[in-house]
Structure 1
């Protein structure tokens, strides 16, 4: 049973800023994700749709036929299950499986195969999943065995008979799109506000919550992205983010499928040489990644590997100026930093290589380094006071709130958690930032990445930057900050650092003491913890929960 609720109390409703750019209308055929894909498949029949590092490749016609045949067989295998678990990496098979479930009116729930068993089982329980689709190859690679009945795709493929293939080809090639609802449940009862997927949050600060994203959310975000960065059917999108991540689900899968682009997939975003090979061979024009992933590519790949790339969009973590400079020098590409949340479909804002308009209508360059760009068309951003909830004027730092058609209706069966962050359509991100007079958004920190030390709020990000600069990390992140309870000061800062720390903790602390960082913000040398690597999630974000666990294990508290 799915239920989502939003609170009725408005947040700063008296001073609602207008979106910089109104959202272009969605095509009439975009009445659901399934119908949008079917229209792409009909209009782009022979064009390449999906390819992956296994050598698999599908045209739009082939992808539609395979999705129809698979969906027909799955209907017999999984019965009436509404929410269906998917435990597959980004591949052609993973894409077709999601398409097949959607065309059948099911809700694919892509499970996080980089999470622990407890988190995955929690997601299965919350979404009332009875069947999980996976593959033998995938199950051999991971230790997870989710709850529910495992359905192995290799076994399902053997059940696809001649009648299933003939039926799929007939529907794909002969039945008018307007009549497909008679044979496809996903096109019969279309409702833009029906759940299209459930994306579970990483659980980096607690148990994962199920974010319900609707057909309207994902289609709106696809249309916004298409308009904002000028995507065309000639674009080839490199899909290295997993489908259990909202960015991986919305952009390399559904934005590609709805607009009629080509998606190229690989299972591991850290495989720099494979990424370079795919980019070179398929002439990828758009890469969506994180700064952490790209840092690895810079070290292991050649400039010519990325000569076809026109858009390099980075998110999930702050893009440091040193790394941006290295990308420009090595590849001749201006990286575009963007921002989003699972709850926002996910894209909220992104820099653009194209000229934009300021709030007063003046033309301005679309890429403003140091910011995460202007909001998506039809999206409104404001900041509010963390204490009072009052709206703040442009240029004042506060909690970032977002309103737009891509905002989730709420968390799965969690009206309490929903009402904490969603009020009158405004989503409170929990991130701190400011909007400059031209409408560009800057992220300054996250509320969950603050510690209250002796009554003062200390931002982890600022302390991290000072430590990495003082320790000479060469642009790499060699230290991260977390916190532990402290009986005297409330909390104390703990620094986890890799062998890349170029000096001793004592020397780092002494160098910080002579700098501009407030003395209260400087961690004790005794609270530095050496680790082999900094724990990150599958999306490339810091694993905040694991950071605290390591600190507690090593230092107690």
Structure 2
């Protein structure tokens, strides 16, 4: 594996990983940036410019408030909010005192939030005030005794410079008795963070994932894990101090956290931060602030190219887009269309990775892109493909379970020893994902082992079928699942979102007949169901289990 990695390693990229300011927690990078470049803009929030000094001071004050409130090293603090400067303030403020960040999806309803808060044993929650109704209803059923609310509009400028989503312009909630307002406690607090003896191997993040099986579990990630992956991605993706990054993907998601929160701070870069994806706002932001680097998901890129009069925006400053194929697969055709639309910006697959490794275990070399693959192993990463039943390593080109190791590997699942032992073995993560390596070391991800469909004894991976179906000119999005069949055990069912301009007269049978001509019979769908949209996470990942 190592020989393959070096054979295709980009010549313009050092084979050794280096750290900009040494091996220390990322919040120390924030402090250093504030000391060395205090007036440099860290975040642009709809026109509101927050410098590194201000961002660091705000996080220091928040850390000090947590300390006087009794929060100590090792305590879990839940974050129930999405993209905003307050997310940065809370995330780094929590970690500065050795407490552990526990992101909760702001899409959660009562039962989901209650489960996660109880599982992580959180006593503190930082939430958007628009989500307080949910927090209030479940708080008596949890250990939460400190509630801190924030309004997304608190740091908005008086005159925004591009489109602000209406939902973050609602009036500020009148803070109930016993509840704290985040900006009030920050502004009332002295910058006085007590010294906390931290070790790079201390857990700093509890990110919840379904893992390979069962209920969501908290993957314990350390300061070292976060720094390693951040440095590796910043180096192989060439994120420099002069860059202006566009941050759109949700920060509570591990990929958004890595590329939207950690990488800009590590690189001492600037970022334009959006609450959520809006194609017109993206165009406005890139044009006004000359964004150079963007992490997206493919449907975002397609949506932007379909904006009426999109050509009136000058987005030629954009030089790099790293994208993840969620729902729609990134193809060479899409990449060529994106390059033409932007005036030369290159786009290719971002990475393969999982929460248990702080993601980004591979990367795509910009000088030797292989479409349909997830790239080559990242720095200090070894990937093997094994037979999931025998554990035997598979030859190049043959499918098996992906197992990997690197310094980003988690310490285990919080209070889930059995699940930890199943997934983490002697430093190797047994991912439950299926895929193969080619002779150049490029990884192709085929799908989750548990989502595999068994048709007459043959293994069918949803992603493989989806990759073929999406080539139909009328299909805009597609997801594939297995459905029971009396004779074959299971057969394939496709859920299809048609392109509005092409799909008016297409029938399910026509797609089934087309598929039979294009793929092996047992892989072709027996059923096709048309949908207006597909269920997805906040980050855009299609949720097959809901289909």
TM over 0.5: yes
How far did residue 528 of structure 1 move?
A: 2.8
Alignment check: 8 A CA contact 1:451 1:458 kept? yes
Change (3 A) 1:79 1:465: closer
Change (3 A) 1:161 1:284: closer
Partner of 1:457: 459
1:278 aligned to which of 273, 282, 285: 285
Partner of 1:390: 392
How far did residue 233 of structure 1 move?
A: 0.6
Local SS of the residue matching 1:287: strand
1:59 aligns with 2:47: no
Partner of 1:473: 474
Partner of 1:505: 508
1:199 aligned to which of 199, 207, 213: 207
Change (3 A) 1:57 1:232: same
Equivalent-residue separation in structure 2 for 1:468 and 1:436 (angstroms): 24
How far did residue 122 of structure 1 move?
A: 1.8
Equivalent-residue separation in structure 2 for 1:499 and 1:542 (angstroms): 16
1:348 aligns with 2:347: no
How far did residue 303 of structure 1 move?
A: 7.3
Change (3 A) 1:24 1:495: closer
Partner of 2:545: 545
Equivalent-residue separation in structure 1 for 2:380 and 2:283 (angstroms): 35
Equivalent-residue separation in structure 1 for 2:150 and 2:514 (angstroms): 57
Partner of 2:31: 38
Equivalent-residue separation in structure 2 for 1:333 and 1:465 (angstroms): 24
How far did residue 18 of structure 1 move?
A: 8.1
Equivalent-residue separation in structure 1 for 2:121 and 2:97 (angstroms): 18
Change (3 A) 1:342 1:473: farther
Q: How many residues align?
A: 496
Change (3 A) 1:458 1:26: same
How far did residue 529 of structure 1 move?
A: 2.7
- Residue deviations 1:25-84, cap 9 Å, x none? 43564322332321222122111111223x332111111111111222233346458101
Equivalent-residue separation in structure 2 for 1:457 and 1:208 (angstroms): 26
Equivalent-residue separation in structure 2 for 1:351 and 1:458 (angstroms): 26
1:380 aligns with 2:379: no
Change (3 A) 1:202 1:335: farther
Local SS of the residue matching 2:318: coil
Equivalent-residue separation in structure 2 for 1:436 and 1:530 (angstroms): 35
1:417 aligns with 2:442: no
Equivalent-residue separation in structure 2 for 1:126 and 1:544 (angstroms): 25
Partner of 1:306: 315
Equivalent-residue separation in structure 1 for 2:389 and 2:314 (angstroms): 49
Alignment check: 8 A CA contact 1:19 1:378 kept? no
Pairing 1:152-551 to 2, within 5 Å after superposition: 152-153=149-150, 155-160=181-186, 164=189, 167-168=190-191, 183-185=193-195, 188-201=196-209, 206-269=214-277, 271-300=278-307, 301-302=310-311, 304-317=313-326, 318-331=329-342, 332-339=344-351, 340-353=353-366, 365-470=367-472, 472-473=473-474, 476-477=476-477, 479-500=478-499, 501=503, 503-513=506-516, 515-524=517-526, 527-547=527-547
- Residue deviations 1:394-437, cap 9 Å, x none? 33333222211112122222222222222222222333333233
Alignment check: 8 A CA contact 1:203 1:545 kept? no
- Which deviates further from its counterpart, 196-205 or 250-259? 196-205
Local SS of the residue matching 1:429: strand
Change (3 A) 1:39 1:258: same
Equivalent-residue separation in structure 2 for 1:139 and 1:319 (angstroms): 38
Equivalent-residue separation in structure 2 for 1:141 and 1:295 (angstroms): 34
Equivalent-residue separation in structure 1 for 2:358 and 2:370 (angstroms): 23
Local SS of the residue matching 1:90: coil
Alignment check: 8 A CA contact 1:113 1:144 kept? no
Local SS of the residue matching 1:211: strand
Higher relative contact order (CA 8 A, sep 6+): 1
Change (3 A) 1:278 1:203: farther
- Which deviates further from its counterpart, 480-489 or 277-286? 480-489
Structure 2 unaligned runs (5+)?
10-14, 152-180
Alignment check: 8 A CA contact 2:479 2:544 kept? no
Equivalent-residue separation in structure 1 for 2:135 and 2:294 (angstroms): 26
Alignment check: 8 A CA contact 1:316 1:539 kept? no
Equivalent-residue separation in structure 1 for 2:134 and 2:368 (angstroms): 42
Equivalent-residue separation in structure 2 for 1:244 and 1:28 (angstroms): 26
Q: CA RMSD in A?
A: 2.8
- Residue deviations 1:179-223, cap 9 Å, x none? xxxx434xx311111111111126897532212111111100111
Equivalent-residue separation in structure 2 for 1:227 and 1:455 (angstroms): 44
Partner of 1:11: none
Equivalent-residue separation in structure 2 for 1:280 and 1:236 (angstroms): 12
Change (3 A) 1:203 1:36: same
Equivalent-residue separation in structure 1 for 2:311 and 2:212 (angstroms): 34
Equivalent-residue separation in structure 1 for 2:253 and 2:187 (angstroms): 33
Partner of 2:121: 128
Change (3 A) 1:141 1:286: farther
- Residue deviations 1:242-261, cap 9 Å, x none? 12111111222122222211
